[in-house]
Each structure stands twice: as C-alpha cells, then as structure tokens.
Chains A and B, each alone.
Chain A
Amino acid sequence: MDPLLLLEQAFNGLQFGVMLFLIAAGLTLVFGIMDLVNLAHGSLVMIGAYLATALVAWTDSFLLGMLLALPATFAVGVLVEVIALRTLYRRDHLDQVLATFGLILFFNEVVRIVWGPISLYSGLPSYLSGHVEIIPGVPYPVFRLVIIAVGLLVAGIIYGIVAHTRLGMLIRAGASNNEMVGALGVNIKSLFTLVFALGAVFAGLAGMMLGPLTSVEPGMGEPLLILAFVIIIIGGIGSIRGAFIAAIVVGMVDTVGRVFLPVLLRAFVSDAAADTAGPALASMLIYILMAAILVVRPRGLFPARTG
C-alpha cells in the first residue's frame, strides 16, 4: 500500500466528513430540539447548491454569489419552517416522515421546473481550481482544502454558539427538555424557527461547496441525507459533538474503505473474488459500523436527551 495514496485518501475522507457534518449538524439540532424527523433536509442541500449556482452566474463573482446564497438559504429555511413544518411538531414521527417525504417530491419538482432536469456544472474561479503540494509529491486540489478549512471553521463556529452563547444554552436546554424551556418564559416558537433556518444554512453551505465538485441536479441531497441520518444515530440525536465525531469517522471509513478494502481483500482471497466483494463490502461498511455501534450503545455515542 502506498502511504502517499493513503494520505491523499485521508484528506478526501476528512473533506467528505466535514461536509457531512455541515448537513448532520442542522439535522441533529432539529431532531433533538423540535423532535422532528425532517427528510426534506436533503432538499435544503440541493436548494443551497442551486441558489449558489444561480447567484454566482448572476453576480459573475464566485465569492459574492456564495455569500449571497447564504442569506437566501436562510430565508428559504424560515419559509419552510413557518409554512410547512410548524404544524408537524405535535404530530408523531410517522406523520412527520410522510409529510416531509411529500416536501421532497415537491422541492425536486420545483427545481426541475425552474432549472430544468439536466445537471448543472458550476465552474471554479482560477484561484480555486489549481493544486498545491501539501507534502512534496502529493498535489492536492485547492478547492478541497478550502472545503476542509471552511468546514472546520463552521464546525468551530457552531461549537462556539452551542457551548458559549445564550442562544446555545437555550438550544442545549431545548434538546434535553423543550417543554421546560418554554415554561421558563422563552419564546420557543421563534427559537425553533431560528434553529431550523440555521440548520438550513449549514446544509445549503454543504450543497454550495458540493456543487463544483460533482454536479447540481434534482435529488442530489438525498444520498447525503441518509448518510447524515447514519451520522446522527451514531453520534446520538441532538449532540453536536457526537455529530462531528461521527461525521469524520463516517467520511473517513467510507472514502478510505472504498479504496483500500479491495486491496486489503486481495491479500486474503483470489483477485477475482476481491474485485467482486471489495466494492460491495465497502459500500456496506458504514452501515455495518452503525449496526456495531448500536449493538453496544443503542442511543448512540453521546445522546443529548435525558428523559
């Protein structure tokens, strides 16, 4: 095994991990505080990506477009919460799953009508499209490094908000017992809207950064949504710290596993068998990881809710 390749894949895994964290952070807060299963969270990733692509094209500036897309996604988040989700908090999880499933259908189709069914490719400005040699001999794309930096920065900001501000205190209190928070005189309604919209911004940010890496298309958030669910289950619902650790682990295991599992298997079984079983096993790896963790700790690594 080539150690340089391993290092490069570790960077890719880290980049995937921080991106997953951005999606999982909002999901775990909405889940933990409002007790809402929001399947449409993946749609917010998609909406962020589309808004960013459109605004970059409109302003003709990558940075400005991205910066404008953040408040736009926030506004979408507020709208979705006020119009569709607010009535769902008191319903049971089954109703929430179905209603947000309906939202996914709706959003995918809206996007298809406005921007067409074909994938969009948003280019990168020249200052982001190059490579740098982080370690001699390993050229690495600048944009992926930027994603890692932005992801870690936002993770730091989220941690700062949750751990050290009054808003964060309310969020943590809401995650362990939201009725008590309301009883103590906090306007729980606007807190919910704010938390949901913040989660939407983080998810949208992940979508914006994902756009130039892959392509922007209807339904692009859904595979990520399932991974985000795996992450918040591993991390424990409502826990930002758990979501961060689980996101990095899942990102690493998935990326590194896909590259090295077939190689590793070849050492034990025939090449043909390894080539067949390797990719199959690699794609199941994180789910096996999740099952293993739940067997030991059925409520995840760091469950927030005490009751």
Chain B
Amino acid sequence: MNRRQIWLTLITLTLFALVPPLTSIFGQPFYVDLMARIMIFALAAISLDFILGHGGMVSFGHAAYMGIGAYTVGIFSYYGIDNGFIQFPLAIAAAALIGLIFGALSLRTSGVYFIMITLAFAQMLYFLAISLEEFGGDDGMAASRSKFAGLIDLNDSNQFYYLVLACLALMLFILHRLVQSRFGMVIRACRTNEKRMQALGFQTYRYKLTAFVIAASMCGLSGALFANLNEFVSPDAMHWTRSGEIMIMVIMGGIGTLIGPVLGATGFLLLEEYLPEWMEMFMTDAGEHWAIVMGPILIVIVLFGRGGIHALFARKWLARGNGHG
C-alpha cells in the first residue's frame, strides 16, 4: 500500500466505525447487520486479494474456506460447545489445514488448470456438506452465537459489529505488512515472473503455498464470523457462485490494493441489496429479476472498469494533485 491507500483505508475504517452510532441516531438498526455482513465479506475478499492480486493465484474456490470456518462453528455449537475461544482458533486452523491440502495439490498446476482445480475442490466440499445428514445436509443447521467468557457479548449487534470491524482492521494491517515484507516481495515477484524467481534460487512452490494457507485461514475467520452473524450454517456458503461473488468483489474494488476489495464488497452487497428496489421504481415486480441487470453490470465492469472502485478514488486524487504514487 502506498500513502494514498493507507489514507483511504483509514477513512474507510473510520466510516465503518461510525455506522452503529449513526444508525441508532436515525433509528435504523437494520443497517448494522447489513454493514457487518459487508465487512465479513470484505475480510474474505482481502484474503483472496492477497493471493489473487499480489500472488497471481486465481483461486476460484475461496468460498470453501469460508464454509469450513462456518461449519466448524456450527458443528461445535451442535455439540453444545459455544466457547468462542475454542471455536474461532479451530475454525481458523481447520481452514488452514484444508487450505494446505488443497493448495499443495492445486499449486502443482498453473493457469487455467489452477482455476478449475480450486473450483472443483470447493465443489467437492459443497457436496460433502450436502451429504452430511447429521449436520442438516441440504437444509443447513442452526448455530448459536459464540460466547467469549463474558468479555464480549455477540448477541449485542453493536458489540458483534465492532468485533468484526476489529478483525477486518487487524487483517488489513497484517496483510499490509506481509505484502511489504521480504516474503510478500517474493510472492509478488512470482506473479510477475516465476521462472526468474526459481532461477534466482527461490523455492517458489513453498512461498506460494504459505501464502495460500494464510489466505485460507483468514477466510476461515470470516466464515466463523459469518456463522455467528446468521446463526445458521448451510452448504450455500460454499456454493461456487459464492466463490465467484467474492472474486467479483475483489475485481470490482480494485485488484491488488487490499482496501479496494473492501470497497468492492461494500459496492457489490449494497448493489445486491438495493438494485431490486431501484428496479421496482421503474417497473412493478421487476425487482425479482435483478440478476438480469446485475449480469451485464459485471460484464461492463470487467470490460471497461480497469482498476475498479479504487481507481476511481485514485483518479480523483490525482486530478487534485495530491497523488504521490
């Protein structure tokens, strides 16, 4: 991140932090849950951005790790263990372990093969979740909110909101430091020219696998939060269209910028929330067909929207002459 991105990050996080007091002033508590949902997806999106934007690994199965995090919380809750100090570390560990296995196999391939094999592995977990009748199968299962020994009360939506915000801020900081570090430099160099890195003596496979596992574990954390938000876990969390949506958030916000995907998640989920309403204004009952507008919007963003939402801000700043790259 350069200085401009750090400022953009700080402003965005500050705005996020102002949401709960503002909603209580205007009496719209619904928005707290919506914004919490946005930040949870933002967490998943920045973890994908780390390997996709900086590492060049197009993982099309990222929702799987979110699903693993969510199912870990759900399964513990099913057996009556609702201690968050047990649930959350194990959710992260489980996602990391699966990420290690899938990553070790997937990273043997590259290019299109990598996209498709990550997709297929995620789909495998999706079908596994569907066939687990004990844990609700197709219908999913209820999960009670985690307890943190009285330190934070997740049933209070404001406290839950700030927990999510803290996680997001912490992960943004960690990823920012990682990208700047020597490790991050190697990962970024692999994206530009992996053969040269190998010629320089780097074991690129190990570096990429480590990055993959880090991303998977962060996504596992977002899944654990997601299960808490919905108080419900279902295979839908792992469906391949969910992986596609997370990827769209990254592209929409601006790939390889970390703060971009946060803005992308915000834009995408707000669009999903309000596009049906806007369409209703033009035509009655048009709202249920929101996807017919959403689809072409995505195509247009891909074809013409280089750099995503992040570039929009960057351009504005440049025009004002403040853009010290």
Contact = CB atoms under 8 A, between A and B. Distances in A.
B113 A237 contact: yes
Interface stretch (B1-9, B157-165, B175-183, B293-301): B293-301
Contacts of B247: 94, 97-98
A93 B112 contact: yes
A162 interface: no
A279 B120 contact: no
B115 interface: yes
A279 B132 CA distance: 8
Interface stretch (A129-137, A151-159, A280-288): A280-288
A230 B117 CA distance: 8
A103 B297 CA distance: 10
B78 interface: no
A87 interface: yes
B127 A284 contact: yes
Interface string A113-139: 100000000000000000000000000
A233 interface: yes
Contacts of A182: none
Contact of A226 (B119, B248, B292): B119
Given A102-B302, A109-B289, A276-B133, A294 B127 contact: no
A294 B121 CA distance: 12
A294 B131 contact: no
A251 B119 CA distance: 19
A99 B303 contact: yes
B115 A295 contact: no
B291 interface: yes
A108 B131 CA distance: 26
B204 interface: no
A45 interface: no
Contacts of B130: 283
A106 B111 contact: no
B237 interface: no
Interface string A213-234: 0000000001000100110110
A104 B245 CA distance: 13
Given A102-B298, A295-B105, A237 B119 contact: no
Contacts of A237: 112-113
A93 B247 CA distance: 13
A102 B127 contact: no
A265 to B, nearest CB: 13
A112 interface: yes
A106 B134 contact: no
A298 B132 CA distance: 31
Interface string B110-143: 0111011101110110011011111000000000
B186 to A, nearest CB: 21
B291 A105 contact: yes
B251 interface: yes
B219 interface: no
A298 B113 contact: yes
A294 B113 CA distance: 9
A291 interface: yes
B60 interface: yes
Contact of A95 (B119, B297, B302): B302
Contacts of A103: 295, 299
B307 interface: no
A98 B251 contact: yes
B240 A280 contact: no
A229 B119 contact: yes
B60 A299 contact: no
Contact of A284 (B105, B128, B244): B128
A31 interface: yes
B239 to A, nearest CB: 9
B70 interface: no
B192 interface: no
25 contacts: A39-B244, A87-B303, A94-B247, A99-B298, A105-B291, A105-B294, A106-B295, A107-B295, A109-B295, A113-B292, A222-B240, A230-B116, A230-B120, A233-B113, A233-B117, A233-B120, A280-B132, A282-B131, A283-B124, A283-B127, A287-B123, A288-B124, A295-B105, A295-B108, A299-B109
Interface pairs A-B: 10 shortest CB-CB: A106-B295, A102-B298, A105-B295, A287-B124, A109-B292, A283-B127, A280-B131, A109-B291, A102-B299, A102-B295
Interface of A: 31, 35, 37, 39, 84, 87, 91, 93-95, 97-99, 101-110, 112-113, 222, 226, 229-230, 232-233, 237, 276, 279-280, 282-284, 287-288, 290-291, 294-295, 298-300
Given A87-B303, A104-B295, 18 more contacts: A93-B115, A94-B58, A97-B244, A98-B298, A99-B299, A101-B298, A102-B302, A105-B291, A105-B298, A106-B295, A107-B295, A112-B289, A226-B119, A229-B120, A283-B131, A287-B123, A294-B117, A295-B105
